[in-house]
Chain A
Amino acid sequence: MIRVEGLSKKFGAVQALSRVSFEAHDGRITGLLGHNGAGKSTTLRILSTVLRPNSGNAVVDGHDCATDPLQVRRSLGVLPHASGLYAHLTGRENIRYYGKLHGLQGAQLDRSTDELIERLGLGAVAARRAKGYSQGERLKVALARALVHQPRTIILDEPTNGLDVNAVRMLRELIRQLRASGRCVLFSSHVMQEVAALCDDIVIISHGRVAVRGTPAEILAATGAADLEEAFVRAADAGAPA
């Protein structure tokens, strides 16, 4: 469960976010949709506590990002836009490293790692060093790494960027599984079709502001558009500063 209220963030003279508010609920997939540079990554980085907002609140599973960042990080599984692996470690070692830093150890760590390796079909590659991985293999290990501590809330920043069709299908399937197990999934994308295919709730963000949010049906009604693509274009343009 994520609750964001009046979030603002400035980088120097640039107002990256102004008064962004939305919610993402457990058991639902929420899509953060916007053009490049609209403020999606900044919002997600504030949620993962690597950035601090200038004003406003962000709360993850009841923990405030500003006052209790360690507790927020414990609750979250994060797959940032850049999710590189350690090339000289094996896939399994990459996953275990994150597990250990999340405080897992012993049998619990082994079980959690094995389970993810099996679920993501990494059995054949987990013993190899990450250096020679394909794109899909890298993504799977990065996902396993983000999920190793079984977080209740998962943040994915542009996870499908640059992936081939098979990897995208795999990812969608995994996201649906996470929803089915009652997790809260928030993911960002600049591709409308991506969001439409998966999301229960959509937040369209434009020029650092929330242009419109709600279920797909609510968004169609609010924008008066015939389809989501039209709604996205209208909402995104509406947020443009005069």
Chain B
Amino acid sequence: MTRAVRIVFAKELLENLRDRRVILSAFLFGVLLAPVIFGLTTSLASKRVVESQDKPLRLSVSGVEHAPNLVRFLEENGAEIQSVTMTADQAMSAVRGGREDLVLLIDAEYGRKLQAGEPAPLDLVVDTANNQTGASADRARRLLEAYGGQLASLRLLVRGVSPELVRPVDVRTLDVATPAGRSLLILGMMTYFSFMSMLVGGFYLAIDTTAGERERGSLEPLLALPVRRAELIIGKMLATSAFMSISLLLTLAAFGVVLQFIPLEALGMSANFGPPVVLAIFAVMLPFVPLGAGLMTAVASFTRSNREAQSWLSVVMLLPIAPIMFAVVNGTKPTPALMAIPSLSQHLLATSLMRGDAIPPLHVVISAGTTLLLGGMFVLLAIRLYRREAILG
């Protein structure tokens, strides 16, 4: 590092540490906002999973005496039946008022119509506007349909007709939202937030290197100093990288703290996020820092003003999410070839570390190597762009 690079680096650190806007975005975003959002969404998600799995279906039934077989079927399938006596109007006002979640009304005519082979009336009173009882209503409806299906099959069999005949298609729903899948989504979110706060940490510094200096009118006198432009921009990119690294480390540490308070086990995840794992994730994500700094600086140097640079960089910050989304949706497993894709490789390595899986040293080498190589190309591009005459605007 030349003396000029050190001088520029030190000045950028001092100046930006004094800038409240930079401090807020670099450190507050990562440390407070990301884990808070993350903590809220995941704890809500895990709470819902826990509730829907453990809670029996509670169903209030009016007219139990009219359909003893149906009631027994429901009870055998995990419903908790509470016998009540209500008219249709009473049931509707009870559900609307939230005093009852679901009410099944069995008509006095039910038994007679069933025996006569006519459609036997059952009224399920639900409130579809109420999100919390929606899942219960679905379960109740499915159970009732299953009971009807059983009866229909029996009737056909008695008449010597195969029930298969009236079932021309067999629709099966394969729910892939396993606890493991959900945890993949959450881990993906976590690495994405880490990337975000890393990039946000260097956001204003990258803009300031070109568009900011120009808008402030300090670029031209700076370029007239007896310092090579490469030294100026390297000093600035080093400062950008320093802020990005600090922001990343703080965010990961904050995740470590937040995760102590989230019931991850309920999601089928192990909460392996102690200080050694935090540091290891920091280490595997660190090679992305020069790539992000070079990319943001290069993009910002094309823009004419701070504001334009900000809108462009907001788009750039979405770039690392694409490979991560791809991995989350496809449940991608780490392979040496995938380690050549920046952001995806860091995501896969970080995910493995969180799960406590062993990671092959080769993967780390490929990930760091390719990311640093691409980062070096962006840094060179940023330097080239800084040498153009058009940089003065």
Binary per-residue interface labels of chain B (217-229) against chain A in the complex, 1 for a CB within 8 Å, 0 otherwise: 1111101111110
Q: How far is B11's CA from A81's CA once the two chains are assembled, in angstroms? A: 23
B392 contacts the other chain (Cβ, under 8 Å)?
yes
Q: How far is B14's CA from A169's CA once the two chains are assembled, in angstroms? A: 35
A103 contacts the other chain (Cβ, under 8 Å)?
yes
Contact indicator A102/B225 (Cβ below 8 Å): yes
Q: Which residues of B contact A100 (CB under 8 A)?
A: 7
Contact indicator B228/A70 (Cβ below 8 Å): yes
Partner of B224, one of A49, A52, A93, A142: A49
Contact status of A84 and B216, CB under 8 A, knowing A89-B11, A89-B14, A101-B7: yes
Contact status of A85 and B228, CB under 8 A, knowing A50-B392, A97-B11, A101-B7: no
B window 198-231: CB within 8 A of A: 216-221, 223-228
Q: Which residues of B contact A81 (CB under 8 A)?
A: 220
A24 contacts the other chain (Cβ, under 8 Å)?
no
Contact status of A101 and B18, CB under 8 A, knowing A50-B224, A80-B220: no
Q: How far is B224's CA from A142's CA once the two chains are assembled, in angstroms? A: 13
Binary per-residue interface labels of chain A (142-155) against chain B in the complex, 1 for a CB within 8 Å, 0 otherwise: 10011000000000
B51 contacts the other chain (Cβ, under 8 Å)?
no
Contact indicator A145/B392 (Cβ below 8 Å): no
26 A–B contact pairs at CB < 8 A? A45-B220, A48-B220, A50-B223, A50-B389, A74-B226, A76-B224, A78-B221, A80-B221, A80-B224, A81-B220, A82-B217, A82-B218, A82-B220, A83-B217, A83-B218, A83-B221, A84-B216, A84-B217, A88-B15, A93-B11, A98-B221, A100-B7, A101-B7, A101-B225, A101-B227, A103-B226
Dominant SS among interface residues on chain B: helix
Q: Which residues of B contact A38 (CB under 8 A)?
A: none
Q: How far is B215's CA from A84's CA once the two chains are assembled, in angstroms? A: 9
Contact indicator A145/B15 (Cβ below 8 Å): no
Q: Which residues of A contact B11 (CB under 8 A)?
A: 86, 89, 93, 97
Binary per-residue interface labels of chain A (97-139) against chain B in the complex, 1 for a CB within 8 Å, 0 otherwise: 1101111000000000000000000000000010000000000
Q: How far is B219's CA from A83's CA once the two chains are assembled, in angstroms? A: 8
Q: Interface size on B (CB < 8 Å)?
A: 24
B window 371-393: CB within 8 A of A: 389, 392
Q: Which residues of B contact A45 (CB under 8 A)?
A: 220, 392
Q: Which residues of B contact A102 (CB under 8 A)?
A: 225-226
Contact indicator A98/B225 (Cβ below 8 Å): yes
A51 contacts the other chain (Cβ, under 8 Å)?
yes
Residue of A nearest to B213 (CB): A84
Contact status of A73 and B218, CB under 8 A, knowing A50-B389, A88-B15, A89-B11: no
A79 contacts the other chain (Cβ, under 8 Å)?
yes
Partner of A51, one of B19, B218, B228, B389: B389
Contact indicator A52/B389 (Cβ below 8 Å): yes
B254 contacts the other chain (Cβ, under 8 Å)?
no
Contact indicator A84/B224 (Cβ below 8 Å): no
Q: How far is B4's CA from A74's CA once the two chains are assembled, in angstroms? A: 14
Contact indicator A146/B221 (Cβ below 8 Å): yes
Contact indicator A73/B226 (Cβ below 8 Å): yes
Q: How far is B219's CA from A84's CA once the two chains are assembled, in angstroms? A: 8
Q: Which 10 A-B pairs have the closest CB atoms?
A: A82-B217, A84-B217, A84-B216, A73-B226, A80-B220, A84-B218, A48-B224, A88-B18, A78-B224, A74-B226
Contact status of A142 and B4, CB under 8 A, knowing A70-B226, A84-B216: no
Q: Which residues of B contact A48 (CB under 8 A)?
A: 220, 223-224
Q: Which residues of B contact A70 (CB under 8 A)?
A: 226, 228
B389 shortest CB reach to chain A, Å: 5
